[in-house]
Structure 1
């Protein structure tokens, strides 16, 4: 893989190496559209699973953008570059104020580099609107102009925390139920992660015959590496944890995202999950502008029960698109 290519318009591209971590992190921390998940403290925790194929784009001595991508070690398509296989999204992260002509020049330089490296396809989901301080659809337009195919589309439920929240009748009923059963909501301790992970794993196995995307060890490592960005909120009835919500959050980009939501059978009976979500809606608006409830898709179709719960809190739908671009 070529590490350096020069163009007449002074843009240059450099393959990411650990020696560039500080420059990478500084750009992400001040970017228009780079959530904390793009920091190397998050990206590198699962580096044993992927071959990193990320890039830095410079203009003179100024870093203007990074492109987060990798190929999974066990990938059946090693010539497909994925942005990013360890995240739900990836791709180009830029400084604020990048105009379309500059973005297009960056992408042309990346395109040439990927072709030289032998990649056949690019699979990319640009950072969705909810996770961006300064959202732009310029990359989606560039991809369309270059023949990229919309290969998948998911629906994310998003709540605007800057406006009054109108909770639906069914959700209000669950909140009354939680009050009647003296459900107590509070921020979870490190020790309570294990109890919640046990509850979450049992739920996923029973309902979907699946496992959490992260193990307890992995999520604990991510929490320790990114201490300001992961929070666990739990609900108790008496001395028993009956529900939990793990959130990813980024005050600078302005979002809270419910990464994992789960309740025990008892928790479901007493409206414990709704009590946690209502607590987050009340407590987060001072710092955060948007609450992402995540996708409601199951095997390519809408999970009616899941989206109904989210819409009961007043969410609206935003699409998360994935594109496939043929490179050769």
Structure 2
């Protein structure tokens, strides 16, 4: 009988973890330890490695708060990571053993944040079946606005007019390694004024991450007569380009700066990707939608996919016993 062993991540596992991420069917650079550990002082890491006999079969980026384990709260998405050889029966055993491990270690609840399917290299929905069996509770669902770049998509007349304004105003788009100008001149002032908030990443942090992942984190500024008027930071994976930050000055509608920038990114820079993921337009944990933001995204011809959050009782590992008959 196969034996599963659960191990809490330690620094000695750095290379083993990263090697697994590099060949997984449902992982991106966000799961690399060089990404995860830029903010390691903010979270109590409790990432797990799952071995079948001596072979690493799964990893789980995670942190804890009191007696609750979370899919790592410092990541946009998460959950169990597998390679493309994994079988359904193995997944069910792994989930059972992890929940049992959590239960034995005093955790009552596991809050699991799934990766949207567009990021997976192969079908990877074994977890959804396991969630059904353990009676997991769906606690949040976000609608992501995504362009399928392998199919025709229609940009609205209003958006085309805005794109034309950008062209008519002779705006200049530059890809740059300098994030500070955008952070200081555009992003931070706008977030402070509109939301009384600050960026998730400081400029120092995003610059460190860019140096570690230059092909995965790319930045573009828009200039009007040499003055910055808008910008965006894009997180790039094998299949998806996703804007992590986007902002423009108060004249963005008059200039057409953001529309012009995104048309360029979608049609020229990232047209070799499968998807362009604008992300959600939600507030209040997915229960309300910002109509203005959603309207803007939909005017680019997006379609909707979802990202789900689940709450799992650790004691429900018992529900995965005697499933395979």
Q: TM-score, normalised by structure 1?
A: 0.91
SS of 1:273's partner is helix
Question: Could you list the runs of 5+ residues in structure 1 that have no partner in the other structure?
Answer: 1-7
Q: What's the counterpart of residue 195 of structure 1?
A: 181
Q: Does 1:307 align with 2:294?
A: yes
Deviation per CA, 1:82-139: give whole Å up to 9, x if none. Answer: 0011112212010013221110011011011111111111011111112211232221
1:182 equivalent among 159, 170, 183: 170
- Paired residue for 1:215? 202
Deviations 1:291-317 (A, max 9, x none): 110110022311111111111111111
1:154 maps to 2:142 = yes
Match of 1:323 in 2: 310
Structural mapping, 1:19-34, within 5 Å: 19-34=12-27
Q: Residues of 1 paired with 2:118 and 2:208: CA distance?
A: 25
How many angstroms apart in 1 are the aligned matches of 2:139 and 2:36? 24
What pairs up with 1:227-246 in 2 under 5 angstroms?
227-246=214-233
Q: CA deviation at 1:170?
A: 1.1
**Cα separation, partners in 2 of 1:63 and 1:257, compared to 1, 3 Å:** same
Is residue 20 of structure 2 the alignment partner of residue 35 of structure 1?
no
**Which residue, out of 263, 266, 275, partners 1:290?**
275
Structure 1 segment 96-107 matched on structure 2, within 5 A? 96-107=84-95
* Counterpart-to-counterpart distance in 1, 2:242 and 2:123: 17
User: How well do the aligned residues superpose, as a CA RMSD in angstroms?
Assistant: 1.4
Query: d(CA) in 1 for partners of 2:193 and 2:18?
Result: 40
Distance in 2 separating the partners of 1:102 and 1:288: 31
| TM-score, structure 2 as length reference | 0.92
Q: Does the alignment pair 1:132 with 2:117?
A: no
- The answer (yes or no) to whether the contact 2:139–2:309 under 8 Å persists in 1 is yes
Asked if 1:119 is matched to 2:107, the reply is yes
For residue 204 of structure 1, what is the aligned residue in structure 2?
191
Please give the per-residue CA displacement for 1:31-79, whole angstroms capped at 9, x wherever unaligned: 11001100001111111111211111223443221111012xxx4xx11
Q: In structure 2, what is the equivalent of residue 68 of structure 1?
A: 61
Unaligned runs of 5+ in 2: 316-325
Equivalenced residues, count: 312
The alignment partner of 1:91 has SS state of coil
Q: Is the 8 A contact 2:222 2:257 kept in 1?
A: yes
Structure 1 Cα separation of the partners of residues 87 and 146 of structure 2? 27
Q: Deviations over 1:251-277 (max 9, x none)?
A: 2xx111111110101233211111111
Q: Does 1:81 align with 2:81?
A: no
Deviations 1:124-160 (A, max 9, x none): 1111112211232221221122121101111111111
Structure 2 counterpart SS, 1:157? strand
State the 1:285 CA deviation. 4.5
1:44 maps onto 2:37 in alignment:
yes
Task: Give 2:254's aligned residue.
Answer: 269
**Aligned-pair CA distance for 1:203:** 1.2
Q: Distance in 2 between matches of 1:189 and 1:25?
A: 25
Residue aligning to 1:90: 78
Tell me the secondary structure at the aligned position of residue 324 of structure 1. Answer: strand
Cα distance in 1 between the residues matched to 2:203 and 2:10: 28
Paired residue for 2:237? 250
Q: 1:225 Cα shift? A: 2.1
**Structure 1 residue ranges (4+ consecutive) displaced by more than 3 angstroms after TM superposition:** 284-287
